[in-house]
Amino acid sequence: MTNDAAASGDKVQSEDFVQFMSFAGVLMRATEHDRDDRIVTDPFAEPLTRQIAPQLAPRVKKWTETLPQPENYFSLRTCYLDDSITRRNACIHQVVLFRAGLDTRVYRLEALHDCNVFEVDQNFVLFEHKVAVLDTSNASLIPDRHEMVVADVNDFNWEEKLLSAGFDSSAPTFWALEGLTMYLERDSNVALLKTIDILSAPGSEIWGDVGGRALGEGGVAPFKQVDELSQAELGTHLFRLGEDDAMHGVFSELPWELTLQADLVRPGTHFGRQWEPILSASDKQPVPFSFVHGVKHSSE
């Protein structure tokens, strides 16, 4: 994956809506990185979005009409996952990052040193773009071993591609499901989690996030605009899962010890950043955005 960055960017810009929106999250990281009070340091986010930023800007501007600093949500999500990876059990040296086409942790998160990291995404083009851009930035990989796995978790045999890439199911694993559950139907989420359970040795950990029901029902103004645009361009809803009680939702299908790290329904400070809840457009009630961590204990 050493194609010219510009050519790669042209291909990326022709991809479908979901991939296009992947860049929106990276643009939020770039915005966060530029803040004087940043809580996420990601010098690679801006280069990854440089070519497509002019196309994203009008859509992001519409978000700010109802959500003045949309980067706050993305930044807190990033911080909670980064912190969980950093604080994982010392026995875990195998990490799987889902929806990782534009993820930069293997270049910026020192906690991945001495790890085998598998990045999973359904689209090769996003991986190709990332490698092309970051090669020109002379970015260095942190993990001891790094594999990019092109696989769609909606496929019944996605795990075969992971195993073929060298994944060791006998080793404890940290599974990261950042920004994934909301794009999958409930049945697909359950199937994914059950497969993860089968592949996980005792001591494994998982991290995931899930938005509230209002997200799936189009009740969150910024995300409603995104969903309506998805319907107009693709003819399908973008957000397919929303749960107000994450501890009794899809993650409860795992027979693991679960912890709710945060649900963002109350004003407060997280990682030094002041947070104001996102309100439902219909009843003006706080919409939960939950971060869940889980540990698989021995069955003995």
Long-range CB pairs of 59-65 (<8 Å, 24+ gap) are 59/24, 59/225, 59/226, 59/229, 60/24, 60/27, 62/222, 62/225, 63/222, 63/225, 65/221
Token reading at 32: 């966060």
Per-residue pLDDT at 233: 73
- In which band, very low, low, confident or very high, does the pLDDT at 168 lie, cut at 50, 70 and 90? very high
Asked if residue 73 is part of any domain, the answer here is yes
Who contacts 93 (Cβ-Cβ below 8 Å, separation ≥6)? Answer: 114, 115, 116, 171
Q: Is the pLDDT of residue 6 over 60?
A: no
Question: In the predicted model, what is the mean pLDDT of residues 111-119?
Answer: 99
Top pLDDT among 115 and 60 is at 115
Asked if residue 180 is part of any domain, the answer here is yes
Question: In the predicted model, what is the mean pLDDT of residues 108-137?
Answer: 96
Asked if residue 14 is part of any domain, the answer here is yes
Per-residue pLDDT at 124: 92
- In which band, very low, low, confident or very high, does the pLDDT at 22 lie, cut at 50, 70 and 90? confident
Euclidean distance between CA atoms 89 and 80, whole angstroms: 16
The domain in which residue 40 lies consists of: 5-295
Q: Is the pLDDT of residue 51 over 80?
A: yes
- Render pLDDT for 176-220 as a digit per residue (tens, 0 to 9): 999 999 999 999 999 999 999 999 999 999 999 999 999 888 888
Q: Is the pLDDT of residue 80 over 90?
A: yes
> In Å, how far are 212, 213, 279 from 221, measured between CA atoms?
13, 13, 8
Token reading at 268: 């407060």
Q: Is the pLDDT of residue 99 over 90?
A: yes
203, with CB counted inside 10 A (0-12, 13-18, 19+), is middle
Per-residue pLDDT at 119: 99
Euclidean distance between CA atoms 74 and 157, whole angstroms: 30
Per-residue pLDDT at 5: 41
Report the predicted TM-score, pTM, of the whole model to 2 decimal places: 0.93
Asked if residue 229 is part of any domain, the answer here is yes
Asked if residue 300 is part of any domain, the answer here is no
Which of 72, 86, 80, 156 has the alpha carbon at shortest distance from 115? 86
Asked if residue 285 is part of any domain, the answer here is yes
What are the backbone angles phi and psi of residue 185, rounded to the nearest 5°? -65, 160
Q: Is the pLDDT of residue 91 over 60?
A: yes
Of 111-115, 125-129, 199-203, 232-236, which range is least confident? 232-236
Q: What is the CATH number of the domain that holds 146?
A: 3.40.50.150
Asked if residue 218 is part of any domain, the answer here is yes
Of 41-45, 79-83, 229-233, 268-272, which range is least confident? 229-233
Per-residue pLDDT at 16: 61
Euclidean distance between CA atoms 148 and 117, whole angstroms: 9
Question: In the predicted model, what is the mean pLDDT of residues 144-167?
Answer: 96
* Structural domains of the chain, count: 1
Asked if residue 57 is part of any domain, the answer here is yes
Report the chain's mean pLDDT, rounded to a whole number. Answer: 91
Calculate the dihedral angle through the C-alpha atoms of 146, 152, 158, 162, rounding to the nearest 10 degrees.
0
What are the backbone angles phi and psi of residue 203, rounded to the nearest 5°? 95, -10
Using DSSP bridges, classify how beta strands 273-275 and 268-270 pair: parallel, antiparallel or unpaired: antiparallel
Per-residue pLDDT at 300: 54
Per-residue pLDDT at 17: 63
52 and 12 in contact (C-beta within 8 Å)? yes
Calculate the dihedral angle through the C-alpha atoms of 133, 136, 140, 146, rounding to the nearest 10 degrees.
40
